[in-house]
Structure 1
């Protein structure tokens, strides 16, 4: 009997060492899991939908040199006198300018208004093999008779916050997040968010590291399609004057959709079950004693 009790004591001591090692291992895994779930990652935000207004602070890329050979040009340089554009007299916006594009809806026709103001060159009026730089305020009014696409690169502010005298709004939109996989290449689709009519949105870039790219698809309707994609720190949503809504990935999304995190989470759950089994075995041996 005495020999049997001594064996049980030795077994319990051995079990205690194993349990302590198990606790330590679970603690380490917990720290690693917290780092994985809460650590910073480079996320890609894709925003798309239909809007009646967008403001784009373009970069110096050549893709932003929008050229128009139709429509009506109005400029401070010509004392706000309208100038009809044609194949022989066109206007080209300069890159690195801030442009606002608005859909204008009349009873009989749909129009697009593009405006900008800069102390530097806003663009060039090209006619008779010569180019005349224009600065100050410039606008172009297009009467839509066909569909076309305007690609851009820069910072985009989509929609307009609802307020007095605001007529052009974001009609519908969606935010999709692509997250980087942990310790591996590639990305996985994260969460999606539906925007409300009247929201004003922009992709946040706290350190000014990234450049948004996208396009506008102009059609003969009361709004135009937009698509903006960029890495960033979140999507800022202004809703009825409230700027507290910042769309970022949730921890739950990483747990359920990141394959690496899902594997680590499964391992952690298995270790917890094994620990529970070891505690149950220890209690059973103590009851026998």
Structure 2
């Protein structure tokens, strides 16, 4: 067995020594291309679509302090008694809260329900004479009379997994991937992946180093438009309880869409062509001799 292994290694060594310089160059290009295709990159994932529900764990950015001067407020600190919000009695959600937004239709009215829970500070209720910090559970129910936008920064969970008692779903959506170019600035449009109705979607952040940014656009419908964008390690899609669906860039996408890789692929093909042409000429001249 040892003798056979030595013979194989010796033959391989002779084969490598017998390579033409052009072969070495091609081998170098192939190895480099493999590193480019398989190497890690900072990709940006964009998720957008139409949904009836979204959950946002907000960051400490001021953009998450949503202000309301209309709607109905219910809170634990107010003994769950409904309170009408108006210009003289307003409420502002605080940062670092877990917010859930759900849209629905009640008769001819379109409504938006925003719920939150925080043991420290869910938000601040302000009237003409005082301000009151609310803790525990708080919800605001809005009857939609106009279009408006709720911007946010944090971690977003889009849709809800289909199951018993679930009534609000992601209706449609798409995941787009913006990949970094190799050894150059800028990005290129990678793959687009369609989402199915009933999917639950979130951007993966293995090391908790990225913050998603996005917004919800509310209109007089029983669903709203959402857009979320963030760097990440992929997109997790839960479909009928299956959490093994991870969307990440494919090698084929890098081969066909990365300008640098496409240029290297063209160079490699040209080198192979020139090498074959050189070999053909050499063989022809040797046959004449």
Match of 1:131 in 2: 131
Task: Say if 1:19 and 1:278, in contact at 8 Å, map to a contact too.
Answer: no
Match of 1:181 in 2: 181
CA distance, structure 1, for counterparts of residue 17 and residue 98 of structure 2? 67
Match of 2:5 in 1: none
Match of 1:48 in 2: 48
> 1:2-39: CA deviations, max 9, x gaps?
xxxxxxxxxxxxxx989521111111111110111111
Match of 1:191 in 2: 191
Match of 1:38 in 2: 38
> 1:166-186: CA deviations, max 9, x gaps?
000000111111111111111
C-alpha deviation, 1:107, in angstroms: 2.2
Match of 1:93 in 2: 93
Q: Residues 19 and 270 from structure 1, CA distance in 2 versus in 1: closer, same or farther, beyond 3 angstroms?
A: farther
Structure 2 residue runs without a partner (length 5+): 1-15
CA distance, structure 1, for counterparts of residue 209 and residue 119 of structure 2? 26
CA distance, structure 2, for counterparts of residue 78 and residue 63 of structure 1? 26
Match of 1:209 in 2: 209
Task: Say if 1:46 and 1:227, in contact at 8 Å, map to a contact too.
Answer: yes
CA distance, structure 1, for counterparts of residue 45 and residue 124 of structure 2? 34
C-alpha deviation, 1:124, in angstroms: 0.8
CA distance, structure 1, for counterparts of residue 195 and residue 62 of structure 2? 31
CA distance, structure 1, for counterparts of residue 167 and residue 287 of structure 2? 77
CA distance, structure 1, for counterparts of residue 134 and residue 268 of structure 2? 65
Task: Say if 1:177 and 1:190, in contact at 8 Å, map to a contact too.
Answer: yes
C-alpha deviation, 1:276, in angstroms: 2.1
Task: Say if 1:104 and 1:110, in contact at 8 Å, map to a contact too.
Answer: yes
C-alpha deviation, 1:188, in angstroms: 1.0
Match of 1:5 in 2: none
Using the size of structure 1 for normalisation, the TM-score is 0.91
SS at match of 2:20: helix
Match of 1:3 in 2: none
Task: Say if 1:212 and 1:228, in contact at 8 Å, map to a contact too.
Answer: yes
Q: How many residues are treated as equivalent by the alignment?
A: 274
CA distance, structure 2, for counterparts of residue 94 and residue 35 of structure 1? 46
Using the size of structure 2 for normalisation, the TM-score is 0.91
CA distance, structure 2, for counterparts of residue 104 and residue 112 of structure 1? 6
How large is the RMSD of aligned CA atoms in angstroms?
A: 1.6
CA distance, structure 2, for counterparts of residue 100 and residue 169 of structure 1? 13
Match of 2:119 in 1: 119
CA distance, structure 2, for counterparts of residue 121 and residue 45 of structure 1? 31
Q: Residues 23 and 113 from structure 1, CA distance in 2 versus in 1: closer, same or farther, beyond 3 angstroms?
A: same
CA distance, structure 2, for counterparts of residue 223 and residue 42 of structure 1? 32
SS at match of 1:206: coil
Match of 2:249 in 1: 249
CA distance, structure 2, for counterparts of residue 40 and residue 21 of structure 1? 30
SS at match of 1:80: coil
Match of 1:275 in 2: 275
Task: Say if 1:73 and 1:84, in contact at 8 Å, map to a contact too.
Answer: yes
Structure 1 residue runs without a partner (length 5+): 1-15
C-alpha deviation, 1:282, in angstroms: 4.3
Bigger Rg, structure 1 or 2:
1
Match of 1:24 in 2: 24
> 1:106-128: CA deviations, max 9, x gaps?
22211100001121110111012
C-alpha deviation, 1:285, in angstroms: 4.7
